Amino acid sequence: MPQLFKNDKLKITLNKKGYNRYTKISFPVKYGIYSEIETKDYIFQFNANNEIIRAKGKNYTWINPSEWLKRTIGNDWIYYSTGGYTGVFESIGEYYLPNLQYPTNSLIGGKPFKEPDINNIITKWHSIIDKITKENKLLNHSDKFQTFIDKVLENSPKRLSEKSEQLIKISGRRVSVLPPDARHVDYDIIPVNISKGCLYNCKFCRVKTEEPFSLIKKDEILNQIKELKNLYGKDIVNYNSVFLGEHDALNAPSDLIMFAAEQSYSQFDFKHSYMESSNLFMFGSVDALLNKSTDDFDKFATLPYHIYINIGLESVDQETLDFLGKPLTSRKVIEAYKLIRNINIKYDNIEISSNFIMDDILPKNHYSSFFKLLEKECRLFKNKGDIYLSPLRINKPSREEIFKFNEIKIKSPVPTFLYIIQRL
């Protein structure tokens, strides 16, 4: 049961129960079990470890009352904006647009981090809470509310930054990109690396590690899971999703994928998560996909997860693939897309999405070959297997590219969205 403290300056609610199912809805939804401090000017929310996770301003200068800040486990602040309701849902499949503090490929969004109110929360949330709770004499040190405040203040910006460094240490390096389908769980995932690097080292790619593909041994995976369990701490109850990294987990042998998926499910105790159902995300390459057998996918389908696999196809046009420096033939891309469609039809709990590049500097056959493929392969099956379009150039919001995207989206027979590259 939530516990409440209230006076005329401060309201503290412990153990609030947010939504326990990820949903797409046009008003702000808060997930998981969290605690809240509300003052005249602000609302701050904290996870089960008493670490700040969300905040917003309450006065009239705050951009929009339904917009808020979220802090990730990687210690990034993200500003969720409505985008003025101008096509955000149509563009990204979500009602709120994540504005990121680092360079990304988003075509939409403003510059919210330049707003004084937003900057104020990011830089001063700790001293604001410190001041208001010290001024508030109604709390005494034996009180559970004071204990909560003490723990909140212990989790200072410095400590939270150190914790994100620990996460990077466990993973070996920062998770530079999350699969686009992770939007279905608001990117609330636990990253377990089962492999490093990737097969292709494509020229156009900005997230690659430039390291050849290699596998991580089972005992190291178990060690990661143990350390991640400690790091996520009590808040693990608010998680129901694992991301098997790094850039091509699908290229790992099936028994390693099964091992990591099963161990994650049991060690993170997803069965008893506050959040309903469990999800597994991974990236895969065209070759990894083509090398998997029906038996492999039959095995994956037995896992207690909804499995989202994201494959980077980039283009059906050979000239474009060469232009991008992606060492693939268009024949393989077509073969992979047919397989993606068949898997999406066959398995209820496996969904494969694909990425294509968009940009006005691409060779002219890029778009025509893309539509030809979709029209041919998706005539009878249209409701699963999102297509994500990723602008080639980063930090180049562009009206022309948005028009182009809308044109593609209207013509595309399958759900098509912009892929905003987000890290952990």
Any idea what DSSP says for residue 198? B
Q: Which CB atom, from 163 or from 247, has the smaller least distance to ligand SF4?
A: 247
- State in angstroms the smallest separation of the CB of 390 from ligand SF4: 9
Query: How far is Cα 418 from Cα 400, in angstroms, rounded to an integer?
Result: 14
Give residues with Cβ within 8 angstroms of 97, minimum separation 6: 80, 81, 82, 83, 88, 106, 108, 109
The amino acid sitting at 420 is I
> Hey, which bits of 189-343 come out as E strands?
190-193, 195-196, 214-215, 241-245, 279-284, 306-314
List beta partners, residue 279.
Answer: 241, 306
User: What is the smallest separation between the CB atom of 318 and ligand SF4, expressed in angstroms?
Assistant: 16
* Comparison of 163 and 292: residue with beta carbon closer to ligand SF4: 292
What is the smallest separation between the CB atom of 4 and ligand SF4, expressed in angstroms?
48
CB of 55 or CB of 324, closer to ligand SF4: 324
Tell me which residues touch ligand SF4 (CB under 6 A): 198-202, 205, 207-208, 247, 285, 312
Contact of 352 with 343, CB cutoff 8 Å: yes
Q: How far is the CB of 247 from ligand SF4 (least distance, A)?
A: 4
Choice between 201 and 398, CB closer to ligand SF4: 201
* 60/46 Cα distance (integer angstroms): 24
Which H or E element spans position 13? strand 10-17
The three-class DSSP label of residue 78 is strand
Q: How far is the CB of 331 from ligand SF4 (least distance, A)?
A: 18
Q: Minimum Å distance from CB 218 to ligand SF4?
A: 24
Q: How far is the CB of 387 from ligand SF4 (least distance, A)?
A: 16
Instruction: Give backbone dihedrals phi and psi of 95, rounded to 5 degrees, phi first.
Output: -80, -20
- Specify which residues 388 forms β-bridges with: 355, 417
Nearer to ligand SF4 (CB atom), residue 132 or residue 207 = 207
Which amino acid appears at position 185 of this protein?
V
Is the Cβ–Cβ distance between 54 and 71 less than 8 Å? yes
β-pairing verdict for 306-314 and 279-284: parallel
Residue whose CB is less far from ligand SF4, 152 or 249: 249
Number of Cβ within a 10 Å radius of residue 295: 9
For ligand SF4, the closer of residues 182 and 231 by Cβ is: 182
Instruction: Return the number of the residue (117 or 335) whose C-beta is nearest ligand SF4.
Output: 335
Three-state DSSP class for 152? helix
In whole angstroms, the minimum distance from the beta carbon of 370 to ligand SF4 comes to 17
